[in-house]
Amino acid sequence: MMLRSIAAVGHDSEFDEPPRVPALERVEKSVRPAVLQAISSIQERYFEPITLAELASEVFVSRFHFSRMFADATGVTPGRFLTAVRLFEAKRLLLTTSLNVSDIVCSVGYSSVGTFTSRFSRAVGMTPTQYREPQVAELLVAISPTFQRLPPLRTLRAAGRSCASLQTGTGVLSMQLDMPRGSAPAETLVGLFADPVPQCGPVAFGGMANMSSGELTIHGVPAGRWTAIAVAQHQPGAGGPRFSIGYQGVTVAPYGQSTARVGLRAPAATDAPIAITLASKQSPFTQRMLAAQRPHLRAVA
């Protein structure tokens, strides 16, 4: 497995604002080129300490207006997008190179190994060293404009309850998935996350093989407000996209069945890159014990 390189930059607290669901179609066509230019600048200068003011000045708008139009186009603030790109690159290097952590820290723009390690561990749920375990790559879900990866459902079944850090819940979520027009049936996975740009595993997920537009039900979902991210890897030979993705905010009741609907589309340049593993940070011995006790994922069809 090989993740293609994508740039990463630092995080600046001045960027922090509540994230929003992506809605590029709401953005005026006149401002879309400015957002795409800013994203391109992020990807080209990820190792530099880029600031919000610099990005805004490059597209000739005020910081306030830039933050607003960027969030409208991408669903997240500039700071959240920069952090997502940076962590995507760090994960790529951890999984595909033999660079030591200090070298990776420098290459993604951090100046302190300790700061990077603590931020990475807090966001991802495992240390950079733990992230290099083979099962992390085997159970990786990656989404970026240039690279998409979905682990086979049979691999998820074989991994059993060692997958992710699933929480115990009593809710049931029925998701109506609308695939892109003209697309072929797909191996499909839907995860529920606390963050719209997740860095660690979902609280619950479900999957289905050979799926067209239709319903996918996830059991054992914790009550609360989550971001549902649906990814589909389509069979070759049709005119639609080979890979599609969809985002939707969902509310799950503590008991009974909740419903939601999400439309999938081809990945776009305005999507913040995501790389999350469904592997647990537990020891291999504990993983084997749990897998033996529950050989099939409850949520994966």
The 10 Å Cβ neighbour count of residue 132 is 15
Query: Would you state the pLDDT for residue 281?
Result: 62
Query: What is the spatial distance between Cα 180 and Cα 183, in angstroms, rounded to a whole number?
Result: 6
Query: Would you state the pLDDT for residue 291?
Result: 44
Query: Would you state the pLDDT for residue 10?
Result: 38
Contact (CB, 8 A) for 201 and 130: no
Please list the ranges in the chain whose pLDDT falls under 50.
1-24, 282-301
The closest alpha carbon to 177, from 138, 203, 216, belongs to 216
Query: Would you state the pLDDT for residue 29?
Result: 61
The 10 Å Cβ neighbour count of residue 19 is 19
Extract the tokens encoding 235. Answer: 């069979």
Q: Could you give the domains of the chain?
A: 1-132 (1.10.10.60), 140-293 (2.60.40.1120)
Extract the tokens encoding 164. Answer: 């992710």
Query: What is the spatial distance between Cα 227 and Cα 215, in angstroms, rounded to a whole number?
Result: 17
Extract the tokens encoding 35. Answer: 């957002």
Query: Would you state the pLDDT for residue 46?
Result: 79
DSSP string, the chain: --PPP-------GGG--------GGGS-TTTHHHHHHHHHHHHHSTTS---HHHHHHHTTS-HHHHHHHHHHHHSS-HHHHHHHHHHHHHHHHHHH----HHHHHHHTT-S-HHHHHHHHHHHHSS-TTGGGSHHHHHTEEEE-SS-EE---HHHHHHHGGGBTTPPP--EEEEEEEEPPTTPPPEEEEEEEESSSS-SS--SEEEEEEEE-SEEEEEEEEPSEEEEEEEEEEEPTTSSS-SEEEEEEEEEE-SSSEEEEEEE-B---TTSPPEEEE-B-SS-HHHHHHHHHH--S-TTB-
Query: What is the spatial distance between Cα 53 and Cα 50, in angstroms, rounded to a whole number?
Result: 8
